[in-house]
Structure 1
Amino acid sequence: MFTQYDPDSAALTAELRDQFDSFTAGRWDAEFLASHQNQKLREVLAYARANSPFYRKKLSGLTDEHMAGLRVDDLRSLPYTTKEDLRQAQFDILSQPIAKAWIFYETTGTTGAATPCPRTNADTIHNNSALTAYYRDVLAVHGDRQVIGVSGPTELHATGDTFGDVCRNLGHSVAKMWPHSPVIGFDRALEVMRLLPITGLFCTPGMAMRLAQKAVEAGLDPRRDFSLDVLMLTGELMSPSLLDNIGVLWGAEARNALYASQEASVLAAATSDGSLRTVPLINHYEVIEPETLAPVEPDADGVRYGELVVTNLYMGAKPLIRYRTGDLVRMTDPAPGAAVRAPALEVVGRVRDQLLLNGTLVNGYDLEDLLLRRFRGYHDYRITVSRDELGKDLLTLTLKADPDSHRDGIEQAAGECLVALDTPLTVEFGDPGPITSTGAMVSWKAARVVDLRKAPSGEDSSAERIAATRV
């Protein structure tokens, strides 16, 4: 409705709606998409160089003649943008002053200096148009009379505004409720979920498990006493094993809904075929080897595994050019029958969150999936890494669950871990504590892994401080 009061925004909304409708219907071939990306890349480069103090210096060697003929295949000739660049540049990274934005967000600042992430109307319309187009079929199977809960932070954070706007576009009611807020709390959040009732919920995996545990503590059955049809999960590492467990807890469909960041906005979203898919209309994607920075070629299965680099293809408050996300991904080109003709993306954890276990380097996604594969119905988990007197690495999985109902999986889990990682696994039962709720604020590793082989990091300390406020 707002856009009707702003002719430029109204025109952009209509243009993007038509583009995404056409793209998701499969009417864009590779040549047409490449032409679109090439044109948008040139526009963004000229825009950022002219308006951003940071990019004016960073792209000073890029001439008008070079830019006029630049294609996305030529991006390797341009420098990367890193997280450290954002921390140091601060407001100089922006291509528009704050007064031109409609809202101001920032990163959490728990792992370094907070960086500004304002959104102009163009930012919001581009990103929310993508989510609206991708989520339409995902949510449609659950009917057109849905009440969607959004359990995420709202202060200086995009979660509530983004999902609220997208659900509004799709005709669904929204209730924004952040259980960690002193105004709401878990008891009131659960009461609202039953009262309305909430049929869909956007939240982190940790929040979904915490809500289920709080419901059980209140004498409620999450499967019987609530009306959830679908959980749209985001904000944390999410392996298939964890996703399936959350679906079991609530008796609902659990989806990996979104890969995004405050800095780079929407990078991939859920589609009706169950995949998380990139959004090539508004971003260009590269996969590089994080040590050598060499481009990664597809393996025999067509999968590119490495660090994701993204370039925004729209002129908002803060377009990023060749931004190194620091995240490891598996990217696979769409197969025939894909719901959207865009590469599927598995986000498998941060580069620096990988663990070396008895000579095998494993990412968080694969480790979580392996250790949790044989267990369902738990409300929380944590992993401890230790080393015996002979120098062999050991793993301990702590599950918040009824031990008697999970005994059968222990031997299988230990055997699979030994085969895959040459690492013994012990499974224990107990409460990992509130630190596991900090994953979206800090990192999966800080929230989920206790590595006794090394001294605590700054991120570990940040997670402890946040957890202390949530006891």
Structure 2
Amino acid sequence: MFTLFRPELAAYAQGTLAEQRRLHDGGWQPGELHSLQMERAAETIRYARANSAFYAARLSGVTVPAAGPVSPQDFASVPFTTKDDLRADLFDVMSQPIDRAWVYYETTGTTGRATPCPRDERDSIVNNTALTLAYEKIFAQHGERHVVAVMGPTELHSTGDTFGDVLRNLGHTVVKMWPHSPVVGFPRALALLEQLGVTAIVCTPGMAISLAKAARAAGIDLHGRLSVRLILTLGELTSPAMLENLGALWSAAVYNCMYASQEASIMAACHADGRLHTVPLNNLIEVIDPDTGLAVEAVGGVREGELVVTHLYRGAKPLVRYRTGDLVRLFAEPGSVSEVMQPIGRTRDALHLAGRRVTAFDLEQTLFTHIRGVIDYFLLIDEDDGQDLVTVNLEPVDEAAGAAIDRVAIRRAVADAFHVACEVVLGSMDAITSTGAMVSWKAARIHDRRGSGAEPERAAALAIAAGRGTR
């Protein structure tokens, strides 16, 4: 509604919507889009260099014309921006003073210094338009009208505002709640799901699991008393096999609905086909080798490596060649200028089994291809007589589900894929598995006992879990 009072923003919103609709309709040609990206990348560089103290210094030697596009060669020479830069320079990275933003967010600060993530109206228009168009068909596939519970992690996080705006655009009802809040809590959250006839939930995979556990403890039948038929997960790595397990647990359709971060906003959004698609009008995306920083070439139409993003719009804090620290696979999509994105883990979540690097995605996908009826899981990694040993700890929904788990198939799948010994144990999980979005998938899901010394991220996850356990 604010655009009614800001005609220039209303015009910008209409132009953004027209461009994004054309993208969804397949109207952009590759050469045309590339030219637009190079032009807008140059605009971002000029804008950031002129308005950000950090970028004024960082981009001082960058060759970019006074008007028009930057050349691919000159763009490739632009220095990277890193998470450490954001933590060190904080408000100096911003291209607008805080009083020109419409809202202030920041990162959680659980694994490092919290960094400012303000948004102005253009930030929200660009990103929320992309999400609105992406989710329109998803919601339509599961009913005409929805009551949606949006479960954001903190008051300083963008989830509640973003989905409030997107769902209002689509005509659905929003209920903002955070079950870990001492004011709300899981009993009240479950009561609201039932009383309001909530049909859809936006939450992390860990929260979907925690809600299912709380419902089981309260004697609430997820399949009978609740009306949830659609779950949009975000904030954590989630494999397709894990999504299927969650879907079976809730008797709902489950989508990994976006790839995003507080710092970089929306980089890919789920479409009705269930896959994450990049938003090339919003971001110029690169994939680099995380060790060398060099661009990765496609192999069989797939690029795999660390994601680097440059914003193609001039908001409160545009980022230039920002190294996300996340590993992805990007698949060329025939007939489309967008690519299909598959996040496969953070660079710092790298795990080595039998001397080989293993991604979080591949490990979880291998496990849950052979698992159903499980409400939670956790992995222990040890060394036994010089061989890596993976103990898969599973929490079944009930005794029948536990009896149906094929331990032999799980052991064989893990051994064949990763060349390690494997054991399967059934039991209850503690609260650390719910901390993935706040810390990392690895800290929440794995305790690697082969090394020595402290694990800072695991310590952070344990601290959060202990705090949640007191409520």
Q: TM-score range by the shorter chain?
A: over 0.9
Report the AA paired with residue 440 of structure 2: S
After TM superposition, the structure 1 stretch with the greater mean CA deviation from structure 2, 146-155 or 239-248, is 146-155
Identify the residue that residue 99 of structure 1 maps to in structure 2: 99
Q: Report if aligned partners of 2:35, 2:69 keep a CA contact under 8 Å in 1.
A: no
- 1:382-421 aligned at under 5 Å gives the runs 382-388=378-384, 390-401=385-396, 402=398, 404-407=400-403, 408-421=405-418
Q: Structure 2 CA distance, aligned partners of 1:367 and 1:197?
A: 36
Deviations 1:394-447 (A, max 9, x none): 001111114552344210010011111111111111222001111100001111
SS at match of 1:406: helix
Identify the residue that residue 136 of structure 2 maps to in structure 1: 136
Q: Report if aligned partners of 2:20, 2:130 keep a CA contact under 8 Å in 1.
A: yes
SS at match of 1:37: helix
Q: Structure 2 CA distance, aligned partners of 1:463 and 1:287?
A: 29
Aligned CA distance change for structure 1 residues 332 and 74 (closer, same or farther; 3 Å): farther
Identify the residue that residue 367 of structure 1 maps to in structure 2: 363
Report the AA paired with residue 463 of structure 1: A
Q: Structure 1 CA distance, aligned partners of 2:389 and 2:448?
A: 10
Q: Structure 1 CA distance, aligned partners of 2:332 and 2:424?
A: 38
Report the AA paired with residue 452 of structure 1: R
1:357 pairs with 2:353: yes
Report the AA paired with residue 206 of structure 1: G
SS at match of 2:259: strand
- 1:50-449 aligned at under 5 Å gives the runs 50-65=50-65, 68-72=68-72, 74-300=74-300, 302-336=301-335, 341-388=337-384, 390-401=385-396, 402=398, 404-407=400-403, 408-449=405-446
Identify the residue that residue 468 of structure 1 maps to in structure 2: 466
How far the C-alpha of 1:143 sits from its partner, in A, is: 2.4
What residue ranges of structure 2 are gaps of 5+ in the alignment?
A: none
After TM superposition, the structure 1 stretch with the greater mean CA deviation from structure 2, 151-160 or 281-290, is 151-160
Report the AA paired with residue 202 of structure 2: F
* Identity, % of aligned positions: 48
Q: Report if aligned partners of 2:127, 2:266 keep a CA contact under 8 Å in 1.
A: yes
Deviations 1:219-257 (A, max 9, x none): 111122211121000000101121111100111100010
Q: Structure 1 CA distance, aligned partners of 2:14 and 2:153?
A: 30
SS at match of 2:468: coil
Q: Structure 1 CA distance, aligned partners of 2:364 and 2:65?
A: 49
Q: Structure 2 CA distance, aligned partners of 1:53 and 1:393?
A: 49
How far the C-alpha of 1:341 sits from its partner, in A, is: 4.5
Deviations 1:33-82 (A, max 9, x none): 11221221111111000000000001101245387441356421111000
Q: Report if aligned partners of 1:41, 1:72 keep a CA contact under 8 Å in 2.
A: no
- 1:12-31 aligned at under 5 Å gives the runs 12-31=12-31
Report the AA paired with residue 358 of structure 2: V
Deviations 1:94-136 (A, max 9, x none): 0000000011100111111111000011111111011011111
How far the C-alpha of 1:21 sits from its partner, in A, is: 1.1
SS at match of 1:65: coil
Q: Structure 2 CA distance, aligned partners of 1:413 and 1:54?
A: 50
Aligned CA distance change for structure 1 residues 64 and 40 (closer, same or farther; 3 Å): closer
Q: Report if aligned partners of 1:154, 1:161 keep a CA contact under 8 Å in 2.
A: no
Q: Structure 2 CA distance, aligned partners of 1:27 and 1:356?
A: 44
Alpha-carbon RMSD: 1.4
Deviations 1:312-334 (A, max 9, x none): 11000110000001101000111
Q: Structure 2 CA distance, aligned partners of 1:171 and 1:75?
A: 41
Q: Structure 2 CA distance, aligned partners of 1:65 and 1:216?
A: 62
Q: Structure 2 CA distance, aligned partners of 1:65 and 1:226?
A: 58
Q: Structure 2 CA distance, aligned partners of 1:88 and 1:444?
A: 25
TM-score normalised over the length of structure 1: 0.96
Q: Structure 2 CA distance, aligned partners of 1:72 and 1:85?
A: 24
Report the AA paired with residue 254 of structure 1: V
Q: Structure 2 CA distance, aligned partners of 1:244 and 1:405?
A: 15
Q: Report if aligned partners of 1:239, 1:368 keep a CA contact under 8 Å in 2.
A: yes
| Alignment size in residue pairs | 466
4+ long deviations beyond 6 Å = none
Aligned CA distance change for structure 1 residues 212 and 64 (closer, same or farther; 3 Å): closer
Deviations 1:168-200 (A, max 9, x none): 011111000100011111111111111111111
How far the C-alpha of 1:276 sits from its partner, in A, is: 0.4
After TM superposition, the structure 1 stretch with the greater mean CA deviation from structure 2, 370-379 or 438-447, is 370-379
How far the C-alpha of 1:144 sits from its partner, in A, is: 2.3
Report the AA paired with residue 392 of structure 1: Q
What residue ranges of structure 1 are gaps of 5+ in the alignment?
A: none
Aligned CA distance change for structure 1 residues 58 and 172 (closer, same or farther; 3 Å): same
Q: Structure 1 CA distance, aligned partners of 2:222 and 2:72?
A: 48
Q: Structure 2 CA distance, aligned partners of 1:84 and 1:451?
A: 26
SS at match of 1:412: helix
SS at match of 2:116: coil
